[in-house]
């Protein structure tokens, strides 16, 4: 894309590495990168995934688009530290699992320095982490969330707003060119509230579920449902601890609601209440059916 001729990826873990590999494979952009462990950057360069290492072969000042594949606090630290050396007019996008903290810290700061920050969250991943687990194709048909600021920030003041909207539109086209199925527009507040349910709760439940003593003797007794429930228990505890604490209030609200629902099932079982148990199970089935229909409609709408 004309606007993003040179792309810098900061952090070559699963997401950052997959971004670099996908951009290099599917676009005409020149790709640069840097990783905390220099050996990873060297490996990516030797494999032809990147065209150069930031700080050695090229300066950050050359990048039109900077994609941050770091933890939230590290993203904030990196941008704050390097704010004087970004190219004027450059676009910065993070890939973190929470948005309010990072958007609050960087949106206004970037505006004041002639840059554009847009909060991003690729809804894709696997159980493994690190550069060696990354691959071109991770984002195929996935949703890419891009967050515009909550109302009340100076981003909505002209002439910056018009420039921001242009950048946002180009960014949507760029991510669609990487294989994302569609781009979902959101705000930091909406994102964190919903992601507490769709992502963070799933990791909490999976982590708690697999701790049952029955897991130790389950071999030969488990199939798809067990694998589905336990897949994301295999996680990066350092990253998820940071994400959970940053989104504590929204996640706690989801946990409390879930516990209330589980109590209904527990009580029906304790009381051998066949009618109530059947009613609860039917409600769950109907909720899933309605969810499937709404998701199909939402995907169709977001593609138009």
pLDDT of residue 150: 83
pLDDT tens digits for range 279-288: 999 999 999 9
**And the tokens for 223?**
């199939």
Domain 191-270 has CATH 3.40.50.300: no
**And the tokens for 136?**
């071109």
Helix (H, G, I), strand (E, B) or coil at 216: helix
pLDDT of residue 302: 60
The pTM for the full model equals 0.90
Residue ranges in the chain whose pLDDT is less than 70: 1, 302-304
Domains 6-186 and 191-270 alike in fold: no
Assign domain 6-186 one CATH number from 1.10.3720.10, 3.40.50.720, 3.30.365.10, 3.50.50.60. 3.40.50.720
Cis ω for the linkage preceding 159 (within 30 of 0): yes
Question: What is the share, in percent, of the chain residues with pLDDT greater than 70?
Answer: 99
Alpha-carbon span 51 to 266, nearest angstrom? 57
pLDDT of residue 84: 95
**And the tokens for 287?**
């909720």
Alpha-carbon span 7 to 257, nearest angstrom? 42
What does the domain layout of the chain look like in residue ranges?
6-186, 191-270
The answer to whether the beta carbons of residues 39 and 87 sit under 8 Å apart is no
Q: What share of the chain is helix, strand, coil (3-state, %, to 5)?
A: 60, 15, 30
pLDDT of residue 304: 54
């Amino acid at each position: 894309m004309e606007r993003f001729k040179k792309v810098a990826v900061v952090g070559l873990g699963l997401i950052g590495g997959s971004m670099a590999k996908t951009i290099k494979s599917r676009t005409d952009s020149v790709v640069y990168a840097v990783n905390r462990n220099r050996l990873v950057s060297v490996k990516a360069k030797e494999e032809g995934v990147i065209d150069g290492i930031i700080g050695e072969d090229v300066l950050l000042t050359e990048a039109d688009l900077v994609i941050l594949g770091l933890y939230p606090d590290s993203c904030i630290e990196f941008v704050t530290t390097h704010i004087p050396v970004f190219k004027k007019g450059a676009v910065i996008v993070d890939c973190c699992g929470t948005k309010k903290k990072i958007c609050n810290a960087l949106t206004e700061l970037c505006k004041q320095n002639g840059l554009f920050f847009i909060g991003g969250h690729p809804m894709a991943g696997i159980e493994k982490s690190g550069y060696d687990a990354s691959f071109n194709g991770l984002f195929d048909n996935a949703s890419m969330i891009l967050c515009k600021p909550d109302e009340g920030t100076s981003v909505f003041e002209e002439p910056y707003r018009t420039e921001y909207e242009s950048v946002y539109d180009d960014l949507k086209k760029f991510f669609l060119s990487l294989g994302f199925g569609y781009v979902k527009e959101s705000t930091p507040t909406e994102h964190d509230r919903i992601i507490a349910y769709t992502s963070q709760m799933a990791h909490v439940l999976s982590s708690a579920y697999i701790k049952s003593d029955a897991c130790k003797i389950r071999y030969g007794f488990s199939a798809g449902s067990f694998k589905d429930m336990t897949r994301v228990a295999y996680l990066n505890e350092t990253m998820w601890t940071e994400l959970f604490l940053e989104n504590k209030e929204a996640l706690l609200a989801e946990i409390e609601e879930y516990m209330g629902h589980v109590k209904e099932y527990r009580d029906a079982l304790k009381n051998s209440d066949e009618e109530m148990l059947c009613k609860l199970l039917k409600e769950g089935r109907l909720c899933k059916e309605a969810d499937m229909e709404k998701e199909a409609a939402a995907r169709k709408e977001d593609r138009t």
